[in-house]
Amino acid sequence: MVLQSSLKNCLQLSCIFRTPKAGFRSTTTGGLIIQSISNDVYQNLAVEDWIHDHMNLENRPVLFLWRNSPAVVIGRHQNPWQLMRQKNIKLARRRSGGGTVYHDLGNINLTFFTTRKKYERMENLKLVVKALKGLRPQLDVHVTDRYDILLDRQYKISGTAAKLGGTAAYHHCTLLCNADKFVLSSVLTSPYRGLKSNATPSVPASVKNLFEEDPSLTCEMLLDAIAEEYAAQHQIDHHISLINPADETVLPGINNKTKELQTWEWVYGKTPKFSISTCFNLVYQDSVLDVKVDMDVKHGRIEVCNIDLPEQWLPPALCSELVKSLTGSKFCPNETTALTTTLPRVCPQDSELHSRWNLLCENMTMLM
């Protein structure tokens, strides 16, 4: 019965995770293959963190298989403002380096955990290619020296990133089976004009789904083929253990890791220092005004702010109040809106002034 077997899997897993340094069990000598039962990007990233921090990978590498419901995932040192302007999709920052990817259930994620010494991305990617070719020999797939996997020599079907810790390391990659390419391209192509930063850039690529090449392929088939190849190469059972990323008994401390990954401080606050230099037009009654804004943002907070308005359009005292309250606050539309709705109480009851104020603040918020 399905329920019983997954319970059994979870129990086996808890024994493995609790006594990592104990003797090997026959099913886990030489390696372990686990798959997440969750599609939540934060929970799954937390599992990666947990394995990296707690498991002894000496002679026992781990392959972790996971899929997420729609989300954009940026690299450790990327700038989310620079890359993505859509607010209605989940955004996560992973701990590995590299660029931005879009995940949905048509994309599979593979994480290869090893000791730092045994870290070897090319080997892992060749394993994936071997699995794909074993499944469909006619597929033209190969690994580039940028660690991408290309289909038909031109379409990217997999991107790679990695993290090297003290003793452990992991290499993870995506694999496009049947992802929504329309959403992918619309979410990932939104450059922010006027933003200067030395954050890790993202290199856009032409992508294709394996499903488009061969409609008989499914995510399940790909996962299974890769697990089988991994098992063969590590001489272990072709057995996939299911893992529940919310289970504190198997993964003590996991829920704190999941929470941390969702904090504003992690997702936005970890952005390398950047500056904005931009201008916008205010259309007010019959005139169009030019406003120039310069800001330095560090740890996601406005460190320096300068707003250039046409003289006397707003009383200078009010303008400097705005600059003062923005300085030190989060570069975040919610926070700015909260600030700007309280400020007008200090200024005289003048509806003309209020509408000018609101117009300016609205535009400021749109920059974030």
Contact residues toward other proteins (CB under 8 A) are 75-77, 95-98, 119, 121, 161-166, 169, 171, 198-200, 272
Tokens, residue 327? 């300085």
Closer by beta carbon to other proteins, 27 or else 144: 144
Do residues 313 and 335 touch, judged by C-beta distance below 8 A? no
What is the secondary structure of 304-333 as a DSSP string? Answer: EEEEE--TTSS-HHHHHHHHHHHTTSBS-H
135 versus 169: smaller Cβ distance to other proteins: 169
CB of 161 to other proteins, least distance (A): 8
> Which amino acid is it at 19?
T
Q: Which residue has the tokens 């190849």?
A: 229
In 135-269, at which residue ranges do the beta strands (DSSP E only) sit?
141-143, 149-151, 155-158, 160-164, 168-176, 195-197, 240-243
- Choose between 330 and 356: whose C-beta lies nearer to other proteins: 330
Cβ neighbour number for residue 110 with a 10 Å cutoff: 25
Q: At its nearest, how many Å lie between other proteins and the CB of residue 148?
A: 13
Q: In a 10 Å sphere around its CB, with 0-12 CB exposed, 13-18 middle and 19+ buried, how is residue 313 labelled?
A: middle
> How far apart are the C-alpha atoms of 113 and 115, rounded to whole Å?
7
The CB-of-164 to other proteins minimum distance in angstroms stands at 4
Q: How far is the CB of 174 from other proteins (least distance, A)?
A: 16
Structure tokens at 107: 């994309």
Closest approach, Cβ 296 to other proteins, in A, equals: 13
- Going by C-alpha positions, the residue among 290, 246, 281 that lies closest to residue 366 is 281
Minimum gap (Å) between residue 290 Cβ and other proteins: 31
- 119 versus 155: smaller Cβ distance to other proteins: 119
> Minimum Å distance from CB 98 to other proteins?
8
Instruction: Report long-range pairs for 354-360 (Cβ below 8 Å, ≥24 apart).
Output: 355/284, 356/284, 356/313, 356/314, 357/314, 357/318, 359/282, 359/284, 360/282, 360/291, 360/309, 360/314, 360/322
169/364 with CB nearer other proteins = 169
Q: Tell me the closest approach of the beta carbon of residue 299 to other proteins, in angstroms.
A: 9
Query: Is the CB of 123 or the CB of 362 nearer to other proteins?
Result: 123
Which of 95, 181 has the CB closer to other proteins?
A: 95
Q: Which is nearer to other proteins, 162 or 223 (CB)?
A: 162
Phi and psi at residue 143, in whole multiples of 5°?
-95, 130
